[in-house]
Structure 1
Amino acid sequence: MSDTPPNMKKLPHLSEDLIWKIMVKADPKTVGQCRTLSKGWNFRLCTNLFVKANYKENKDRSKSVIVGIGYPPGDYNSIWFVRAYLHSGRQVQFNVPMDANQYGLYSVIGSENGIICIKISLGGLNSRLLVWNPVSDKRRYVTDEASKHSAHAVSLYAFGFLEDEIEYRIVHVYKRAFRQRNMSWSLYTSFEREWTHSGNDIITVMECRDGSGSANDAVRTDFLISRLKYMESRREHLVQRTWQEHVNVKTITMHSDGLYMV
C-alpha cells in the first residue's frame, strides 16, 4: 500500500435553495436519516413547508394497502396486518408498534399524510388511540372516547388532516344509549390536544336486523385485492392469500409514507 495520502478535492458549494430542491424529491426514509446529521440539517428538513412539499413529491411513489385480517366477529382479539405495495405488489407483515396481550385488539381508523391512527385495546375497556408515523416512529396517544359510553352501542371514528395544513383531527360518532336512533359526536384536534364535545345530535340511524342467517361451514377463505388499470383494460392483483380456515377482512386502509409530525 502507498503511504501517499489521497488527493483531497473540495466539493462544489451547493446553495441552500438547491439542497432544499434536492431533498424535497428524496424519499421520506432518506430525509429522516439526513435529519440526524446535525442540528442544522434537522432544522432545514423539519419545517412545515418542506414536509408538505416532500409528501406531495412522494405520495404517489410509496402507495400501499394495509389490510387488517382476523377471525370471525365472535373472536375480537385476533387481528394481524398485511401491507401490499401498489407499484411492486410486494407484501410484508405490518407490525403495530405496541404489544397486546391475548385479550387485546387493534383496529386501523385511518391514514393520511403518512400518519396512521389506530385504536388499541389491551383487554376489556382498557383502550386508547395511537397516532403513529411509521417512518419516523413518532407516536402520540389519545384517550379513547368510546370507553366513556356504552360498550355495546355504536361507536365510530374517522381521522384526517385539514386541507393543506399540518393539523389533524379525529372525529368520534357514537350513540349515548343502545336504543337511541340519534348519534352524537366529539372532536379531537392535534393543535389543542383535547376532545371537544357536542351537545347536539347530528345523525339519525335506521337499523334493520335479520335473524334468519345460517351457519357458515366453509373452512377455506380466499382473499384478493385487485387494481383496475382502466387505460390498459386489465386488472392487476395486489394481495392474494388463502387461509384453510374461516377469517374475515376487518380493515382496508390506503397509506403513503410521509414525514408529518404526530
Structure 2
Amino acid sequence: MSDIPPKKLIIPYLPDEMCLEIFKRCDAKTLRNVKATSRYWRETLSSYEFVSEVSTFWKSKGDRSHLLVWNPAIGSTKMIPDPPRHFCTKCAFLYTFAYFPNSVNYGIVHLYKRQQCQKTWTLTLYSSAEKKWVVNVSCPEYGRSLDPNYASLDGVIYWMKWRDNDRDMSPIFIVSFSMLTHKFGQIFILAEATTNYHGLLIHGGKLCVGAINYDHKRYNCTIWEIDSIGETPNWSKLFTYDGYGHPYLPAMFIDGDVIQVLEKYYQVDDLPHMKHTIIHMTRWSPFKKTQYNLKWMQFDNFVRMRSLSTYYDLLFQLGVNLVSMML
C-alpha cells in the first residue's frame, strides 16, 4: 500500500443542460437521490417536461421503460419501474389504478406473460407504500384480460370480461380482483341488463352497471346497482336516461348526478386540414329530471375524451374538480 495520499480530484462545473442530459440516463433510484439534494433539483426532475424527455429517451433505446405517475392535486410526477421491460414486449398490456381502503396509498395492477406463445398470465401489483411490485399471482382463465373501462371500490378492481366472438360484443360477466386478499371473483351479468354496451360506475359507495342501447344517433342508458357482492349479488334498477352521441363516451356520478360528455366532429371536405371538435359536458339529475350545461369546449383538431375522474382538494371535500384525459 502506498503512503502517498491520493491527489484531490476537482469536479468540474457542469451547466444544468449537461446535468439534465446525464440524469436522463440514470435509473429511478439515482434520480430520487438527486432530488433529495435540493428543492431546485426536486422540482426540476419532477417536472412533466423532464419526465417526458426521459420517457422519450428510453423509448428510443428500446430496452428500458418506466411508468409515469402524475398527481394533479400537487402537480408532481414520479417514475416507477415498468414490469414489461422484463417480459414479452410484443404483447399488449393494460393497467388499472386504485387506492387502498382508508389510505392515501395506491396500487397499480398489471397483467403480463413472459413470452408471446405462453398461455399462462400473471398479475402483478405495485404498492406505493412499499414502492415496488409486491405481488405476483397466476390468473385464472376468466381473468386473463383487463379492460380500460374499469372501476375500483374498497380496494377491489372490477372490469368487464368480453366474449371472444367479434360478432357478439356483450360481456359475459364482471371480473373482480382484491388488492387486499389477492383473489379473483366473478359477477355474472343479469339477463335483464344484457345489452351490447356496458359501463362500470361507482354510485353511493356501490358498484353500478350502465346498460346502454344505441341506434347510431342517440342512446338509452339504464343504471343498475349491485348490492351484496358475493355468490348471489342483488341487482336493482336505479333509473334510466337518454343521451345523444356514442355509447363509449365517458360518464360518471357526482353527488347522485350524472356527468355526461357529448362529442361532435366537423371537417371541411375541400380543406382536409380544417378539422374541429366540440366537447359538451352536461350534468343531469335523474331524480329531479333536470339538466344543465357544465362546459363547452372547441378544438381545431379531432379530439376524443377517453375518461373522467375526480379528486378532492386536500383531505376535505371542499370542491370537486374534473380531470379529463384527451387523446
Normalising by structure 1, report the TM-score. Answer: 0.43
- Identify which of structures 1 and 2 has the higher relative contact order when contacts are C-alpha pairs closer than 8 Å and 6+ apart: 1
Higher strand share: 2
